[in-house]
């Protein structure tokens, strides 16, 4: 059948309109959901505190939703002050706490990075502005923050009406309505809020092990401030091993000057990292920790891990800040040096005989719970899982833990409490 010129023009016009419509829809989808804006930082320290690890796809919370959650659920918070009540470090003049990253992937999303667990502050007087120390063990109450998000997701107030009401009260820019355009408000109302709720409820299932009973119907103790159950997190996120009753919360360690804790000691023996000597390499610790935060194993991610390795391996410990106001008594320090050399140095001097080596539990007498939370089988499974992801990193130590690593004591004044593995 021969088409008339008019019919041909109509079909051609419809075809062009369809192509334009599809192209416009694709462009809209890319702009609103997938377009990435590069983060720019003044220096490596700022990037450590606020830089993304690339976890926005799986773990990113829409920014304005994250912003108003403490306002919608103040009764679920541990105290006043919003997220600061969880013990996060929040620098003056910053819109988000240290350890949080705000990145645009279609829309602005909030994720966590290494600094959430490894940044602390000090001050000499109560009225003084806190001094931020990068790579120190954080005081954050991480478990409480996780449980807050899960409780909020179960709460009937987690709905579009309640949350959008709070977002409209946020005067972020000239749009009003929380800085959101009409289209963005519809995306939040009909997509982001319900999908985030669903994602939180799904993620909660990965944390059921936190609520297991260990004995005599006694629940596992809370992690507490400045601690997490690191190896159980690794075990259940990376390996999907069956849940058990182990509980091993330990202090967030300082991670400055990592270069003196890895490689070989003065005698050529391999040094080990993590509390039970789980790995011989800084890069392995960084990769596994970032994977636990939801970072995807892509080339960009591996380059970021290499950059972090270099930065933290060379980051000096914080200097003692009170030398001018309270000079060190050199005579007493000299006496202390003798005691340290006699009783401490073999286990704690950098690259010493026993430094960054596993000291048997029977020798140090520390409680064994953190040690029991990891195993040879878990290490083998973690190594296999990482290899499946296409990541080439030094293998975790495939041995059952038998003690705890003795670390160097650089920056000791910012390392309290001073208890073996921090779990006592």
Residue 199 has pLDDT above 50, yes or no: yes
Q: Could you read off the pLDDT of 313-324 as tens digits, one per residue?
A: 999 999 999 888
Q: Could you read off the pLDDT of 209-253 as tens digits, one per residue?
A: 998 866 677 788 899 999 999 999 988 888 888 888 898 888 899
Q: Could you read off the pLDDT of 63-92 as tens digits, one per residue?
A: 999 999 999 999 999 999 999 999 999 999
Residue 178 has pLDDT above 70, yes or no: no
Report pTM. Answer: 0.91
Average pLDDT for residues 139-155, to the nearest whole number?
97
* Mean pLDDT, the chain, integer: 90
Task: Please tell me the distance from the alpha carbon of residue 162 to that of residue 217, in angstroms, as a whole number.
Answer: 38
| pLDDT greater at residue 56 or residue 31 | 56
Number of Cβ within a 10 Å radius of residue 265: 17
C-beta of residue 261 within 8 angstroms of C-beta of residue 356: yes
pLDDT of residue 383: 94
Number of Cβ within a 10 Å radius of residue 72: 19
Q: With pLDDT > 70 as the criterion, what percentage of the chain qualifies?
A: 95
Show contacts of 196-202: CB within 8 Å, 24+ apart. Answer: 196/61, 196/62, 196/65, 197/153, 197/158, 200/149, 200/150, 200/152, 200/153, 201/150, 201/153, 201/154
Task: Please tell me the distance from the alpha carbon of residue 271 to that of residue 260, in angstroms, as a whole number.
Answer: 9
pLDDT band at 171 (very low <50, low <70, confident <90, very high): low
C-beta of residue 195 within 8 angstroms of C-beta of residue 61: no
Q: Who's near 183: CB < 8 A, 6+ residues apart?
A: 32
Cα dist. 112→37, 46, 59, 97 in Å?
Answer: 17, 14, 9, 10
Kindly list the domain boundaries of the chain, sorted by start residue.
31-211, 221-317+329-424
Per DSSP, 359 falls in state E
Indicate the burial class of 79 (C-beta count within 10 angstroms; 0-12, 13-18, 19 or more): exposed
C-beta of residue 121 within 8 angstroms of C-beta of residue 89: yes
> What three-state secondary structure class fits 112?
strand
pLDDT of residue 177: 58
Indicate the burial class of 338 (C-beta count within 10 angstroms; 0-12, 13-18, 19 or more): exposed
Both tokens assigned to 121: 């502050």
Q: Locate the DSSP E strands across 99-225.
A: 100-105, 107-112, 119-122, 131-134, 213-215, 218-219
C-beta of residue 20 within 8 angstroms of C-beta of residue 72: no
119 phi/psi in degrees, rounded to 5 = -145, 135
Nearest to 212 by CA among 250, 234, 249, 243: 243
C-beta of residue 80 within 8 angstroms of C-beta of residue 29: no
pLDDT of residue 1: 61
Q: Which residue is it, tokens 């918070």? A: 77
Residue 280 has pLDDT above 90, yes or no: yes
Residue 176 has pLDDT above 60, yes or no: no
Task: Please tell me the distance from the alpha carbon of residue 274 to that of residue 251, in angstroms, as a whole number.
Answer: 11
C-beta of residue 418 within 8 angstroms of C-beta of residue 368: no
Q: Could you read off the pLDDT of 408-424 as tens digits, one per residue?
A: 999 999 987 666 655 54
């Amino acid at each position: 059948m021969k088409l008339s010129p008019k019919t041909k023009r109509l079909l051609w016009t419809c075809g062009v309109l369809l192509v334009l419509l599809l192209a416009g829809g694709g462009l809209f989808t890319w702009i609103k959901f997938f377009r990435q804006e590069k983060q720019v930082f003044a220096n490596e320290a700022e990037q450590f505190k606020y830089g993304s690890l690339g976890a926005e796809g799986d773990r990113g919370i829409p920014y304005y939703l994250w912003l108003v959650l403490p306002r919608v659920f103040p009764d679920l918070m541990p105290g006043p002050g919003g997220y600061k009540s969880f013990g996060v470090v929040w620098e003056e003049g910053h819109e988000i706490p240290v350890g949080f990253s705000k990145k645009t992937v279609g829309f602005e999303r909030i994720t966590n990075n290494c600094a959430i667990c490894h940044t602390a502050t000090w001050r000499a007087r109560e009225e003084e502005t806190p001094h931020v120390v990068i790579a120190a063990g954080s005081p954050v109450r991480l478990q409480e923050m996780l449980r807050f998000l899960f409780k909020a997701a179960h709460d009937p107030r987690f709905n579009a009406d309640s949350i959008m009401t709070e977002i409209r009260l946020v005067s972020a820019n000239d749009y009003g309505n929380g800085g959101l355009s009409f289209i963005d408000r519809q995306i939040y109302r009909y997509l982001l809020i319900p999908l985030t709720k669903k994602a939180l409820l799904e993620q909660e299932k990965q944390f059921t092990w936190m609520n297991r009973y260990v004995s005599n119907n006694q629940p596992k103790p809370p992690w507490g401030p400045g601690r997490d159950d690191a190896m159980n997190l690794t075990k259940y996120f990376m390996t999907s091993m069956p849940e058990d009753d182990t509980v091993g919360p330990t202090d967030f360690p300082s991670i400055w000057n990592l270069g003196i804790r890895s490689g070989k000691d003065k005698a050529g023996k391999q040094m080990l990292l993590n509390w039970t000597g789980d790995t011989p390499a800084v890069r392995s610790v960084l990769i596994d920790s970032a994977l636990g935060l939801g970072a995807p194993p892509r080339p960009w991610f591996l380059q970021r891990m290499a950059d972090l390795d270099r930065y933290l391996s060379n980051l000096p410990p914080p200097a003692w800040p009170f030398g001018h106001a309270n000079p060190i008594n050199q005579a007493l320090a000299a006496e202390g040096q003798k005691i340290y050399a006699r009783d401490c140095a073999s286990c704690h001097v950098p690259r010493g005989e026993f430094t960054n080596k596993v000291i048997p539990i029977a020798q140090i007498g520390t409680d064994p719970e953190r040690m029991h939370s990891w195993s040879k089988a878990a290490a083998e499974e973690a190594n296999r899982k990482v290899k499946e992801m296409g990541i080439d990193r030094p293998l975790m130590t495939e041995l059952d833990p038998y003690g705890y690593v003795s670390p160097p004591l650089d920056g000791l004044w910012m390392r309290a409490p001073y208890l073996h593995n921090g779990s006592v």
